[in-house]
Structure 1
Amino acid sequence: MRVLVTGHKGYIGTVLVPMLLAQQHEVVGLDSDLFERCTFGEGIEAIPEIRKDIRDVEASDVEGYDVILHLAGLSNDPLGNLNPNLTAEINYRASVRLAQLAKQVGVGRFIFSSSCSNYGAGGEELLNEESAFNPVTPYGESKVGVEKDVSQLADDNFSPTFLRNATAYGVSPRLRFDLVLNNLVAWAFTTGRVYIKSDGTPWRPIVHIEDISRAFIAAMNAPREAVHNEAFNVGRNDDNYRIRELADIVEEVVPGCKVEYAEDGGPDKRCYRVDCSKILRVLPDFKPQWNARRGAEELYAAYQNIGLTLEEFEGEKYKRIAHIQSLLGSGKLDGDLRWKAAVSV
């Protein structure tokens, strides 16, 4: 297939692209590359690309593809909270417009990287794809908005699919520390403390970025009728964990560390468990390979290999919100999170 991956230089995209190439797909990327100074390890596989803000995409940019895998956007709750209006503009309105353009030029398949954040304050109940949306952040609200609007575009010629990823983890060339398992292992490795900022009780489903990538590939390779205008929770039922359970796993994996709770840590209203039975039933090619313990071991080995320091971990390089704030403060980005053309990046 001829595949366009938006956000191909992001945390998930840099892992997904090599997996697509390994299956002999023709892959083109589209990304504004806000995090070009944030590469972890050996770097990123080069592919043909369009360096462009997702808000500026034109019909000619998306013409001629069999499928669009849409990952681009502000990637988490802290970034989403920075400017909720911009979050709506980038994550919601630009995504819907991208789907409209794709439909206009005859792209048959559109697979959207949605989120289990859609469920938000979901509580203790195991939530499936028919459960009510209850987003509690601008990021979650933007994902819900895209699903609702893009689903209305579905017809005989345009087939959207919505992959509601659990909380991601794992090693990537564009590593992030603002993800729970990545963060806990980094605290343990750099300080000897598995530091928990809540009371440890909230539930969180987690999924490795390689398994998220496997879900995208399984969805694009599936028969159209199996995924047409369908949503799928991405993960496994066994990978719903309380935060304190993840901390205990990290304590067992990283030698000499101890779990520590923040003195002011309270319950997090973002608490949800998800039922991932549907994706495993409908997409038999989706075979997740990872669990929390293996993921913690991978992260620990990567941090050892690169000699991760507390300064790097707590610095701007691998924290999306801190890096964006640095680019804004230095004048490299304008207030709309666009590169200033006259400033060297």
Structure 2
Amino acid sequence: MKKKILVVGGAGYIGSHMVLALQDEGHEVVVFDNLSRGHADAVNGARLVVGDLRAPQELAHCFAGQSFDLVMHFAALAYVGESVVQPDLYYQNNVLGTLNLLAAMRQHGVGKFVFSSTCATYGEPESVPIAEDHSQNPINPYGRSKLMVEQVLRDFGEAYGLQSVGLRYFNAAGCDREGRAGERHEPETHLIPLVLAEALRVKTGGNPAATMLEVYGTDFDTPDGSCVRDYIHVSDLCRAHLLAAERLLSGAVKHDRPAEFYNLANGNGFSVLDVIRTCEAVTGVPIRYRSARRRVGDPAVLVGDASLAGKILGWNAQYGDLSSIVQTAWDWMSRVPVGQTNEGQAHEVEP
């Protein structure tokens, strides 16, 4: 059944892919985004309301005169390093902004919420793979801001009847297989697009020896010395959100446990050097890199256990191999080089 869904942060990387997934299912989508890190041309014709979560009057404008069945929230700031040097920005946007959003939902009678959380809420892993019952001791303001919202959702569920599903991502990667959306961060910090940008630079005539690609740490206790991470394709993430929305809208989330949390992970670990070798195989371009010191707080291995999402949501990662994830990212970057925009335009932009 067609629903009207508000996608907060729908002009960003994961949010824009979510807009496509919802439209493919026949839902009506409205996007709320301040465009500070998103792109107006990325919403694929959805109605775009430009506004900031930190401004309650702008949220009121978005909710006025329309009724939403469900809200999905992707509008967090998500740079770990930035959160350490600007924690005020992260607590204002990620925590206060979410509180403002939940207040607007309550005021307008919207009681179903899908929240993008993160594996950063776990902190240093005590065991691998990481399951949902792992202790949550985040080591940076970004992770702490997300954990704060998780607790808010539990409390709001008990006090106000808010029903929510929080999805803890591991490393989002890849792009829409049909090339309708991609990854455009400014600055880019994700490993796969950074490696592919280096491949594109060399492929278009750049000097391989002048590489700017850095590998932070080659002395970890891993098979090749580089750190190991769990990469999950963005389309798999979006499919999990669709299943979470279906669970909420069907009434399967119970009043005695109104806030549910699930890991979204591939379950396979790939090292930084695995990623570089896979990118070389996909692009056909030899890729050089420079070794650099480890970053403070980088665990050797971060791999997630998503079996609970499989059991309850019926979800599993369809992009299980790294090469297929990289291929979708390379197809996008080859067609839309970094700094250029997508062909689609926003249908309507409101102040």
Question: TM-score, length-normalised on structure 1?
Answer: 0.79
Moved over 6 A (4+): none
Q: Give the counterpart letter for 1:24 in structure 2.
A: G
Among 225, 242, 266, the alignment partner of 1:217 is: 242
- Structure with the bigger RCO (C-alpha within 8 Å, sep 6+) is 2
- What do residues 121-150 of structure 1 show as CA deviations (whole Å, max 9, x unaligned)? 226522111111122222111111111122
Closer/same/farther in 2, CA of residues 259 and 118 from structure 1, 3 Å limit: farther
Closer/same/farther in 2, CA of residues 100 and 14 from structure 1, 3 Å limit: same
Structure 1 position 270 matched with structure 2 position 294: no
CA contact (8 A) 1:4 1:69 kept: yes
Question: TM-score, length-normalised on structure 2?
Answer: 0.78
Structure 1 position 187 matched with structure 2 position 198: yes
- Counterpart CA distance in 2 for 1:244 and 1:35 is 29
Closer/same/farther in 2, CA of residues 307 and 231 from structure 1, 3 Å limit: closer
Q: Identity of counterpart residues, as a percentage? A: 22
- Counterpart CA distance in 1 for 2:288 and 2:119 is 27
- Counterpart CA distance in 2 for 1:275 and 1:259 is 32
Structure 1 position 165 matched with structure 2 position 184: no
Residue 61 of structure 1 corresponds to 62
Among 6, 9, 19, the alignment partner of 1:7 is: 9
Residue 45 of structure 1 corresponds to 44
CA contact (8 A) 1:184 1:195 kept: no
Give the deviation of 1:157 after TM superposition. Answer: 3.6
**25-34 vs 246-255, greater mean Cα deviation:** 246-255
CA contact (8 A) 1:214 1:287 kept: no
SS in 1 for 2:151: helix
- Counterpart CA distance in 2 for 1:13 and 1:43 is 9
* Gapped regions of structure 1 (runs ≥ 5): 319-340
* Gapped regions of structure 2 (runs ≥ 5): 176-180, 203-207, 219-224, 342-350
CA contact (8 A) 1:70 1:111 kept: yes
Residue 327 of structure 1 corresponds to none
- What do residues 12-42 of structure 1 show as CA deviations (whole Å, max 9, x unaligned)? 1111102101211121111111146x68xx8
- What do residues 285-305 of structure 1 show as CA deviations (whole Å, max 9, x unaligned)? x34332321121222233333
Residue 139 of structure 1 corresponds to 142
- Counterpart CA distance in 2 for 1:278 and 1:43 is 32
- Counterpart CA distance in 2 for 1:3 and 1:231 is 20
Structure 1 position 256 matched with structure 2 position 279: no
Give the deviation of 1:214 after TM superposition. Answer: 0.9
Structure 1 position 107 matched with structure 2 position 134: no
Give the deviation of 1:59 after TM superposition. Answer: 4.8
Q: Give the counterpart letter for 1:165 in structure 2.
A: Y
- Counterpart CA distance in 1 for 2:103 and 2:134 is 27
Give the deviation of 1:235 after TM superposition. Answer: 2.2
Q: Give the counterpart letter for 2:328 in structure 1.
A: E
- Counterpart CA distance in 1 for 2:164 and 2:54 is 19
- What do residues 67-123 of structure 1 show as CA deviations (whole Å, max 9, x unaligned)? 110111213224434511111011112113322332343212111111111123226
SS in 2 for 1:122: coil
- Counterpart CA distance in 1 for 2:266 and 2:251 is 23
How many equivalent residue pairs? 306
Closer/same/farther in 2, CA of residues 225 and 52 from structure 1, 3 Å limit: same
Give the deviation of 1:174 after TM superposition. Answer: 4.9
- What do residues 179-215 of structure 1 show as CA deviations (whole Å, max 9, x unaligned)? 1222222223324566423325323222111111111
- Counterpart CA distance in 2 for 1:233 and 1:114 is 9
Closer/same/farther in 2, CA of residues 97 and 259 from structure 1, 3 Å limit: same
